[in-house]
Amino acid sequence: MTNRISQGAVALGAGAVFGIGLSLSGMLDPARVQGFLDVFGAWDPSLAFVLGGAVAVAMIGMTLKRRMARPMLDTVFHLPISTKIDARLVIGSAIFGVGWGLAGLCPGPALSALSLGLMPVVAFVVAMVIGMVVHDRLAQGRAA
C-alpha cells in the first residue's frame, strides 16, 4: 500500500512539474502550437525549443534507466514490447497529428489548460475522453 501511495505521489509531482513547465513555456496557448506548424506563414519556433528541452530530459532519464537494475518504486520497468510499425500505429499517429494541428492542443497541454477554464479547451478534453472511451470499447470488441 505504501508503495502505491509513493507511486501516486511521484506521478502527481511529475504531472504538476509538467503542467507548470507547459504553462511557463506558453504551450497552453493553442496559437503557439499552430504558429509552430505554420512553416510558410508566421512561423513561431518556440515549440522546437520546448521539444528540444523535453528530449534532453528524456535522454538523461533513459541513460539513468540503463544503469538501474529496476525502478525505485516498482519491480520492473514497464516499457513497450512491440517495435512493429503497423497500420494502427501509423493511422493513430496521423489522427493525433491532425488533431494537434487543428486544435493546437494534445492531451498533456489540454489537461493543463483546463485550469484556464476556457470552453474550447473543455470541449476538446470532453471530445478527447469520448474518443478514448470509444477506442477502448472498439479494442475490447476486437480482442474478444
Q: pLDDT for 30-87, tens place per residue?
A: 888 888 888 888 899 988 998 899 899 999 999 999 999 998 888 888 888 888 999 9
In the prediction, which pLDDT does 55 show? 94
As a whole number, the mean pLDDT across the chain is 87
In the prediction, which pLDDT does 74 show? 84
- The total of structural domains in the chain comes to 1
Q: What is the rounded distance in angstroms from the CA atom of residue 50 to the CA atom of residue 52? A: 5
Note the pTM of the prediction, 2 decimals.
Answer: 0.71
Q: How is residue 19 written as a grid cell?
A: 503542467
Cell 509538467 -> residue: 18
**Phi, psi values for residue 42, rounded to 5°:** -85, 75
| Mean pLDDT calculated for residue range 6-10 | 86
| 106 Cβ neighbours under 8 A, 6+ residues apart | 96, 99, 100
Range of the domain at 53: 2-143
